[in-house]
Structure 1
Amino acid sequence: MSGFEVVEVAHGDDAGIRAWAAVTAASLRHDVGPPATPWTAEELAVVVGTSDGMRRDTFHLGLLDGEPVAAGWLAMRLLDNLDAAELDVHVLPAHRRHGYGGRVLDRLHERAAEACRSRLDARSQWPYDGPADGAGTPGMAFALARGYHFGIGEVQRELVLPVSEERLVALAEAAAPHHAAYRIEAWQGPVPDELVESWLAVWSTLPTEAPTGESEREDDSADVAAFRAMEATQARQGRRSWHAVALDAAGEVVAYTEVVVPAHDPGVAFQWGTLVARGHRGHRLGVALKVANLQALQRDLGPAVSGRRLVTWNAEVNGPMIDINEELGFVPSARSAELQRRAG
């Protein structure tokens, strides 16, 4: 391994960014197949070597005699979860089992330790027909051998758009009698100023309100300025967001959902977080919001929505959200696991 080195990708290093994206994509597609959803180089270029104030991402390449064969990613939040770091490692299939992934992971561990981050979060992915716990899959074997433990299993689900308007209307009408005390609003673009504080009051709790299994989690920051900076970063990446919320009688957000459409990967869209605040559950708000958001998305995109895969992830134990997604027509496509390790 004398010809192997790990280097950090710098801001503006277009060749390094493209290499990082290519290694990661090849690794994911080998392990997961067509359902894989790697970052594009165009999205990466916006965040490499920069920070939006909410988190800092660093990207590393493992070079064998100057050729990229491995990639690593490290993310550290700056306003919350200050003892934690999120990381990911990928190795080209033809170069596995030579210790390159371990060398990259060691570098990420070193960087996390330098920042006093002792809670390390990672993820492994594999095909849906594989074992629910990932036993024997390459990513799980790699992580478990290095001290990570299985936190919670997730299932990736996909829905090919568009959903028929008849189906959406039927679901909306069935849910409507249950949420008469709430107002549903949907829009494309940033969260309006008059809603952002109550949006964040719900949005920031998703890490702990969603099932966590054996993983430790803390809420995200509800800092408005940092959230606005994050929205601006996503806009520069070419990611457009559609939001739907439920408002109570006081006009406060009590539930939300968000779909993100990337400009640089026209075949997919992402169903991001959906959450109903405690005290407002049991009113079919989850399905009402997802339907309203899909209607707005399909209306705004028109023919451009046709054939896109809408991709989402649910903890395998999250029955209520899985039920909603299955009502909409989502089907399982891959599996993953949240993994965690305590350093020191």
Structure 2
Amino acid sequence: MTSRLEIRRVDPSDDGEYDAWWDAYAAARRADLGDDALIWSHQESRAELLQESATTERHAFVARRDGEVVGACSLALSLKDNLHIAGIGVNVPPQHRRTGIGSALLAHLEAEARRAGRSTMRADIYWPASLPADGAGAANREFARRHGYEIALGDLQNRLDLPVADAVVGDLLAQAPATGYELRSWVGPVPEEFVAEWAALDALLDTEAPTGDLDLEASNADVADHRADEELQRTQGRTSFGTVALASDGRIAAYTQVVVSGDDGNAYQWGTLVRREDRGHRLGLRVKLENLRMLQRHSPVPPRIHTFNAESNTHMLEVNRRLGFVASARMAELQERLAP
């Protein structure tokens, strides 16, 4: 008799349920990328699922067969913008693949998205940097293709091993003098004097950076929501490093942020953006260098920084190349529009 597959929502406050979900998620990610897999830690993922967020509704689900957890998935629904989108993740440990579990989890998520009134599905998948940009030969890419999910934007996952020698940083700083701009850096939450402009720039990032064929609108800029995200980072045990370049009128011309995980010790490059009217002055390079210099003065220094950039974003990739980043994996931002 064929075993029945049961898919149930996870209560993240229940240790047993949450542990089973996270273990399946982490096992699947390691199977796809090995040592290059970037996995949100047990604490980081749980804190996000437990957060009472005004901006995003999140759910996690596990698939069980004969009492054994054989797969995991997640659903994220924005509550203030992009109300047509459902962000999803499907993770099946390698020993349970090719048995219909992934397809069942995906169908479950699509049904949940439809009930929430969403019409566009988005998912991120990863494969080794040695494979081509279209994902040919990657099992997760072929799975997505069979279900109608196509690449809307291709990204590179890049890694910078730390520390970077002071002489290298100094040489690069000489190439990006930022004449006419004041640089300010800090550790922790964004200072009150900058937070409104920071939130506004950060909200533009998804649409100002290359978006490929992604069906996106700009995010809402709200200081209260930004502070809630900072509180989530604190709960997750993360530490933020931020730098801005200020124009002569005192406004933020460019910003960058690196967040250090309290669990794996790695640093993660988050947003970097230069205002349109201030581009062409190498401000992106300058703020990244200042932030890197501050990070390396902090003890202990993280072993490496990870970042993601669209393969079409040649300018930022060149900035990262100058800093010493190397490609460690590829990521595809997938999209599928649900039939009515």
Whether TM exceeds 0.5 here: the answer is yes
Alignment partners' CA distance in 2, 1:50 and 1:114: 22
Q: Structure 1: how far apart are the matches of 2:77 and 2:251?
A: 31
Where does 1:64-79 land on structure 2 (aligned, <5 Å)?
64-79=65-80
1:331 lines up with 2:326 in the alignment: yes
Equivalent residue, structure 2, for 1:311: 306
Shift of 1:199: 1.0
Counterpart of 1:12 in structure 2 is 13
The amino acid across from 2:301 in the alignment is: V
Deviations 1:48-80 (A, max 9, x none): 244321212111111121211111011111111
Q: What secondary structure does 1:34 align onto?
A: helix
Is the Cα contact below 8 Å between 1:9 and 1:48 reproduced in 2? no
Contact map agreement 1:247 1:253 (CA 8 A) in 2? yes
Letter in 2 for 1:109: E
- Cα 1:54/1:314, change in 2 over 3 Å: same
**Following TM superposition, by how much is the alpha carbon of 1:2 offset from its aligned partner in structure 2, in angstroms?**
3.1
| 1:297 correspondence with 2:295 | yes
Unmatched 5+ stretches in structure 2? none
Aligned to 1:41: 42
Counterpart Cα distance in 2 of 1:48 and 1:206: 24
Is 1:21 equivalent to 2:35 in the alignment? Answer: no
1:178-327 → structure 2 map (5 Å cutoff): 179-266=178-265, 268-301=266-299, 304-305=300-301, 308-327=303-322
- Cα distance, 1:200 vs structure 2: 1.7
1:143 aligns with 2:138: no
Tell me, what secondary structure is at the counterpart of 1:207? Answer: helix
Q: Is the 8 A contact 2:131 2:137 kept in 1?
A: no
CA drift at 1:107: 1.4
Amino acid of the residue matched to residue 193 of structure 2? E
For the 8 Å contact 1:49–1:58, the answer to whether it is kept is no
- Structure 2 letter corresponding to 1:235: R
Unaligned runs of 5+ in 1: none
Distance 1:102 1:329 in 2: 40
Q: Which moved more, 1:236-245 or 1:17-26?
A: 17-26
| Aligned-partner Cα distance in 1 for 2:233–2:112 | 25
Distance 2:257 2:132 in 1: 30
What secondary structure is seen at the aligned counterpart in 2 of 1:193?
coil
1:47 deviates by 2.3
The one-letter amino acid of 2:22's match is A
Q: Over residues 138-169 of structure 1, what are the superposed CA-to-partner deviations in whole Å (9 max), with x where a residue is unaligned?
A: 11111111121111211111011111111112
- Give deviations 1:14-60, integer Å, cap 9, x for gaps: 22222222211211111112110111111122122443212121111
CA deviation after TM superposition for structure 1 residue 309, in Å: 2.1
CA deviation string 1:97-131 (max 9, x = no partner): 11111111111111111111111111111000001
How many residues end up aligned between the 2 structures?
338
Distance of 2:328 and 2:48 partners within structure 1: 29
Distance in 2 of aligned mates of 1:62 and 1:181: 57
CA distance in 1, matches of 2:269, 2:87: 21
- Name the CA distance, whole Å, in 1 between partners of 2:227 and 2:111: 31
**SS class of match (1:204):** helix
Structure 2 letter corresponding to 1:343:
L
Q: Which amino acid aligns with 1:222?
A: A
The equivalent residue for 1:175 is 176
- 8 Å CA contact 2:162, 2:301 repeated in 1: yes
Q: Per the alignment, do residues 11 and 30 of structure 1 end up closer, same or farther by CA in structure 2, a change over 3 Å counting?
A: closer
Residue of structure 1 in register with 2:95 after alignment: 94
More divergent stretch after superposition (95-104 vs 24-33)? 24-33
**Which residue does the alignment assign to 2:52?**
51
Please state whether the residue corresponding to 2:249 is helix, strand or coil.
coil
Measured in 2, the distance between the counterparts of 1:49 and 1:58 equals: 10
Q: Is the 8 A contact 1:53 1:78 kept in 2?
A: yes
Q: Secondary structure at the match of 1:175?
A: coil
- Tell me which amino acid in the other structure corresponds to 2:290: A
The one-letter code matched in structure 1 to 2:286 is A
Within 2, Cα distance between the matches of 1:331 and 1:50? 34
CA distance, structure 2, for counterparts of residue 198 and residue 68 of structure 1: 45
**Conservation of the 8 A alpha-carbon contact between 2:204 and 2:219:** yes
Q: Distance in 2 between matches of 1:195 and 1:298?
A: 23
Native 8 Å contact 1:198 1:254 kept in 2:
no
Say which SS state the counterpart of residue 305 (structure 1) adopts: coil
Once residues 239 and 111 of structure 1 are traced to their aligned partners in structure 2, the CA distance between those partners, rounded to angstroms, is 31
Do 2:51 and 2:232's aligned partners in 1 also have CA atoms closer than 8 Å?
A: no
